[in-house]
Amino acid sequence: MTGFTAAMWAEVLKTVRSKVPWLAALGISLAPLMGGVFMLILKDPAWARRFGLVSAKAQISAGAADWPTYFSLLAQAVAVGGLIVFALIAVWVFGREYTDRTVADLLALPTSRVVIVIAKFVVVTTLSTMLAALVYALGLVTGGVVGLPGWSLWLAACAAGRLMATAGLTVVLITPFAWAASAGRGYLPPVGAVFLVLFLSQVIAALGWGAYFPWSVPALYSGVAGSELQELSLGSCLLVMLTGVLGVAGTLTWWWLADQP
C-alpha cells in the first residue's frame, strides 16, 4: 500500500504542476457553451438572424429549445468530444514518461510497475470524471442563463446519470490508447490512433453497424445516432468491457516487460 501511495502522490504532483488538465478543461468547456448558443438560436431565431447565425441548421440538428434537448446535447458532447479529450489525457499521462525521458527512472524504482500503471489509470479516470462533471455543471449554469423551459429535478437527475454513464463507457474505451502511448514511446502514434478511431466510429455508426464497433457505443447510447436512441444489445456493452480489459492488460504487460529483449 505504501508503494501505491507513493506512486499516486507522484502522479498527482505531475498532474497538478502541468497545464494539460487546465487545457483539457478549457477545451471540453466549449461543449456546454456552444450548446447554449444552439439553444439561443432555437429560442429566438430573430436574434440569431441579427447576428448572421443560421437558425434552420440548428433546428435540424438540435430540435427544440428546452432542457431535455440540451441535456441530450451535453451527453453527445461527452460521447464524441470526451473520446478525444479523455484519450489525449491518457496519452499524455503515459506518453510523457518517454518524451520527458523519465521512463528509465520509473522502471528502475523498487515500486512495482503494476502499481505505477494502476496509479496512472486512477489519475486518468479521475480527471476524465471531473471533466464530465464540469460539462454537466456548466450545462446547468448555461441552461439557466438561457432560460430553457422544461426543468425538473427528476429530469436533471436522469440526465446526470445518462451523462456519467456515457462518460464511463468512454473512459473504458480509452485504455488501448494508454497501451499505444507506451508501445509507441511517445505522443504521435497514439494521437494518430485516436483520430483514426474517431473517424471510424462516425463512419461505422452512420452505416448502421455502430453496435458492433466499441468506440461507437457511447455515442449511440447518448442518442447521437438519431432522434430515437438506437437499441444496444448486451453484446455491445460486453464488447466495450472487453476492449477496456484488453487495453489495461496490454498496458500492464508492456510496462512489465518494457526493458526485456
Torsion sign over Cα 69, 22, 175, 202? positive
Phi and psi (nearest 5°) for 242? Answer: -65, -40
Distances (CA, A) of 242 to 109, 123, 142, 202, 204: 31, 21, 37, 21, 19
Reply yes or no on whether the pLDDT at 257 is more than 90. no
Domain boundary assignment for the chain? 2-256
pLDDT digits (tens, 9 = 90+) for 69-98: 899 899 989 998 999 999 999 999 998 888
List the Cα angle 173/102/123 in 5-degree steps: 35
Q: Which residues of 55-88 are buried (b: 16+ CB within 10 A; e: fewer)?
A: beebeeebbebbbbbbbbbbbbbbbbbbbbbbbb
What's the pLDDT score for residue 179?
Answer: 94
Reply yes or no on whether the pLDDT at 136 is more than 90. yes
Distances (CA, A) of 96 to 68, 108, 136: 40, 17, 29
- Split at pLDDT 50, 70, 90, the class of 101 is confident
pLDDT digits (tens, 9 = 90+) for 137-195: 999 999 989 888 888 899 999 999 999 999 999 999 999 999 999 888 888 889 999 99
| Cα distance between residue 254 and residue 247, in whole Å | 11
The set of residues, in sequence order, having a beta carbon less than 8 Å from that of 34 and lying 6+ positions away, is none
What residue spans of 66-112 are helical by DSSP H? 67-99, 103-108
Reply yes or no on whether the pLDDT at 116 is more than 60. yes
Instruction: Choose among 247, 237, 70: nearest CA to 159.
Output: 70
